[in-house]
Amino acid sequence: MFPFEIERIFLDEKAERDSVSETILKALSHVPVERVQDKRTLIKQFFSMPDPIGIGKKHLFVTHFYGRRLKPCPGTSNHICCGYYVINAITNCPMDCSYCVLQGYLNNPFLTLYTNWDDLLQEIDAFLSNDRQSFLRLGTGELSDSLALESIFPFSQFLIPFFAERHNGILELKTKSANVDPLLGFKHRGKTVVSWSLNPPRMIEQEEKRTAPLMKRIEAARKCQEKDYPLGFHFDPLICHEGWEKEYEETVIQLFKQIDPQRVVWVSLGGFRYPPKLKAIAEERFPQTEVFLGELFPGRDAKFRYLKEIRVEMYRKMAGWLKEADPDLFIYLCMESKEVWEKVFGWAPENSLHLNQLFEKRLKEFAK
């Protein structure tokens, strides 16, 4: 059962004969289908509607992707980034987080699923084969939620066995859902990290519409832990709000009541940040959102971030609570400067490459 509302499927005629399309149409057999020849006109028509982003989430566009599907995470200038690769399998997300950067980022409002699946697997295969020395991390959770569309099309059924056979690649399935049952039967050989983005319950309820509650996410993580999946957790975005300390500390406590920190391959921390145009879009869509009420200022990359002092305080406290569960937990900061790393941890990676090497080391240790 697909837990989100889809009002209509737009089927690109080029994708009509793909087996993936058949699977999708079968899974959503109750939803009307409209064949599309001219997607530009359709996109233009939707963008002229009052809430194209909200409406787009209820319209599934099934099409082909032309171009590279695998790209380095764009990161941000003047900051240390982790050398992650983004797999473009789905764009947009049926969940609706007030702070989601995709609201101002995508040039197509629809929840879009690309059916030329074989091309994607070939591209990933070629990419991993070309760089056998490195240990690469790839994920589907940057342009969508990795597991949200699982009941429409079982991506994991293809990706998890595919990565299980690769020696130098790790797949990360990043989610805010609790939809892990389809994953539990696969032989993953430790090559798929299932990870959750976490926030305190009040923030989830207020800022992360249509996502699973915290305890359901933790419960889903526990199920994956039982099946020996390496786990990841992302406290990103950390939202500075009244009572944040108590709420985040309690979230960490709840997490490690069910999760063995030894099974956690990485934890990331990232303060809420946003490109300038997001605020107007998000406030229009979520008049009650609190995410923009913090002390946020533009940085050198033009993105707004909390005042450095505030970020450092949040990271230090979070790192402290996390390390209480396990002093050896691998914690990293997402898109932060060397100075902030130093202030939080007392050390910093030399550069993005160094951080990438630390990930490799961590993954090799974890695999032992």
Partner 1 sequence: MKTIQRIPLQQIDLLDDTFSVNYLPDLQKLRSSIQEIGLIQPVLLRKKLDAYQIVCGFRRVSAMKVLGKSEIEARVFEEKEMDEFQLFSLSLHENLATRGFNAVEKAVALDKLIHRYQIHPTAVIKTFLPSFSLEPNEKILKTYLSLAQMEDEIKTYVLKEEVSRSNIRRLSALTSDDRLAVLSLISPLKLGENRLRELLTLLEEISRRNQSSAKEMIRQPEIQAILSQKELTPSQKAERVKKVLLILRYPKMHQMEKEFEKKRKGLNLPSNVSLHHSPFFEGRELKIEFQFETIEEYQSALNGLSILAEKKEFREMVNPLTLPLSPGGRGEG
- Tell me which residues touch partner 1 (CB under 8 A): 50, 287, 290, 292-293, 295, 297-300, 305, 307-310, 316, 319-320, 322-324, 327-333, 339, 341-347, 358, 362
Min dist. Cβ of residue 76 to partner 1 (A): 13
Beta carbon nearer to partner 1, 84 or 330:
330
Min dist. Cβ of residue 284 to partner 1 (A): 8
Q: Which of 267, 333, 304, 265 has its CA nearest to residue 81?
A: 333
Min dist. Cβ of residue 164 to partner 1 (A): 25
Cβ neighbors of 94 (< 8 A, separation 6 or more) are 4, 6, 57, 111, 145, 148, 149, 210
Beta carbon nearer to partner 1, 62 or 331:
331
Min dist. Cβ of residue 133 to partner 1 (A): 22
CB 59 within 8 A of CB 111: yes
**Cis, bond preceding 237 (omega within 30 deg of 0):** yes
Label the pairing between strands 296-298 and 304-306. antiparallel
Stretch (H or E) spanning 33: strand 33-36
Could you give the residue ranges of the DSSP H alpha helices within the chain? 19-27, 39-47, 52-56, 117-130, 155-164, 201-207, 214-226, 244-258, 278-285, 308-325, 338-345, 352-367
Beta carbon nearer to partner 1, 10 or 341:
341
Beta carbon nearer to partner 1, 223 or 338:
338
Beta carbon nearer to partner 1, 181 or 309:
309
Min dist. Cβ of residue 129 to partner 1 (A): 30
Read off the amino acid at residue 333.
Answer: L
